[in-house]
Amino acid sequence: MSARTKARKRALDVLYVADVRQITVAQSLAIEAERAANEPARAASWLYAREIVDGVVDHAEEIDELIETYSQGWTLARMPVIDRAILRIGIWEILYNDAIPHAVAIDEAVEAAKVLSTADSAGFVNGLLGRIAQTAPSA
């Protein structure tokens, strides 16, 4: 597993924990930062995970608006918590990280949905991120 894939998983953990525990992302990030400090072997993935989480927080309103717009009848509240976190990371990578090709961001999000969410989630994530990528500048 690549360092960026590990970082995406760590960012997903931070966003998921914040949502499920109903704490702020900053609180969830602090918990993960403490854990990272105690596990030096995970340092390589921590920097990009932090960049993802900070980016999702910085652009949260726009990202959530895009999810609502492109989800065709699904509200954020109706989606599985893990799907919301996966979509937020994927959208951030597509729109705000020029170092990640759109196809890679989508593939990583779809793979996470296959492993961590419902049977229908991978197709939902793929379709939503694909539509957003079509409207975004090419990476």
Chain segment 79-126, per-residue pLDDT in tens: 999 999 999 999 999 999 999 999 999 999 999 999 999 989 999 999
What are the sequence ranges of the domains in the chain?
3-135
pLDDT given at position 10: 93
Instruction: Scan for tokens 């602090």, then name that residue.
Output: 30
- Alpha-carbon distances, residue 53 vs 9, 109, 110 (angstroms): 11, 15, 19
Q: Does domain 3-135 have CATH number 1.10.940.10?
A: yes
Mean pLDDT value across residues 19-33: 92
36-71 pLDDT per residue, tens: 778 777 767 788 999 999 999 999 999 999 999 999
pLDDT given at position 139: 55
